[in-house]
Amino acid sequence: MNEALFTTNNLWMLMATILVFVMHLGFASLESGLSRSKTRSTSCLKTP
C-alpha cells in the first residue's frame, strides 16, 4: 500500500511539473507574439 501511494504521488508531481512548464512556455509564446520582434528577448526574460 505504501509503495503504491508513493508511486502515485511521484507520478502526480511529475505530471503537475510538466503542466506548469508547458503553461510557462505557452505564456511566453503568447507574450512574444504580442510584442515587436526587437523586444521579444527582454519580454521573455522579465516573465517569472
Instruction: Band the pLDDT of 32: cuts 50, 70, 90.
Output: confident
Q: Measure Cα distances from 30 to 1, 2, 24, 46 in Å.
A: 43, 42, 10, 14
Please give the pLDDT value at position 1.
77
Residue 22, φ and ψ in degrees, nearest 5:
-70, -40
Any idea where the domains of the chain sit in the sequence?
A: 23-48
- Alpha-carbon distance of 43 to 26, in angstroms, equals 14
Is the pLDDT reported for residue 35 higher than 60?
Answer: yes
Assigned C-alpha cell, 30: 503568447
Is the pLDDT reported for residue 23 higher than 80?
Answer: yes
Please give the pLDDT value at position 40.
65
